[in-house]
Amino acid sequence: MNYTTILYEVTDHIAKITMNLPEMRNPLTEALTAELITAIRTADQDQDVRVIILTGAGKAFSAGGNLNEFKANFEKSIPELHREGHESTELFKLGATVKTPIIASVNGPALGGGTGIVAMSHLAIASNQAKLGLTELKLGLVPFVILPWVRRAVGNRRAMELMLTAEIIDAEKAKDYELVHRIVPHDQLEEETWALAKTVASHSPLAVSLGMDAYFTTEQMDFMKSFDYLSTLRLVSFQSEDLKEGASAFLEKRKPSWQGK
């Protein structure tokens, strides 16, 4: 597919998706959001891809929503706004539905929806120059769509604080709040991101996919029923070619050759 607002490349089982509107600080325009959805789904369905990296071109990760598009909303009907809103939420549903781990490589400011993407990602590594925040209330908006992911990442009290203060926090505070997992010097971000991605990609793709399934399916499940579901799910793992290969490789002291089966 020919993308106009993002860059897409696959190397060594890793799909790198770069939001590519640097002069605008990579806002989540309708076009960019649609292409992000397509690219993430494409990577998730590609049997050769084991990890997805999300990052931004230029100095920003993503400045969040596009103000010019917000202004245009004043002229739209409620049904039209509802349809467009439903389409935009598809991006943030992907974090719970894809079977391929997403790593956010936060190269600079990630504000509003940008913070939402970071919170949605399964792993997040940030430059020490990164800044995050739910700045919507400063504009008379509410972080409706991203609130579930932010709350899930930082907890109820922190989410309320971030929303009501609209504070922009630095990378250290973002790590303390558990919005990001790691902080690295800015000039080492790309190297450290790829090292993390390669670590995840080195594991059995079937086992990783099953692990993602187990995590998200049991999250809202009754506690006792979750054991039954996981007991059934592990039968797939026990009879998989990857488990046989992993055990053989361990005993033979060699690198496993995963088939994802």
Gap between the Cα atoms of 51 and 61, Å rounded = 19
Catalytic residue among 75, 136, 191, 219: 136
- Is 136 marked active-site? yes
The size of the chain, in residues, is: 261
User: Catalytic amino acids?
Assistant: 136
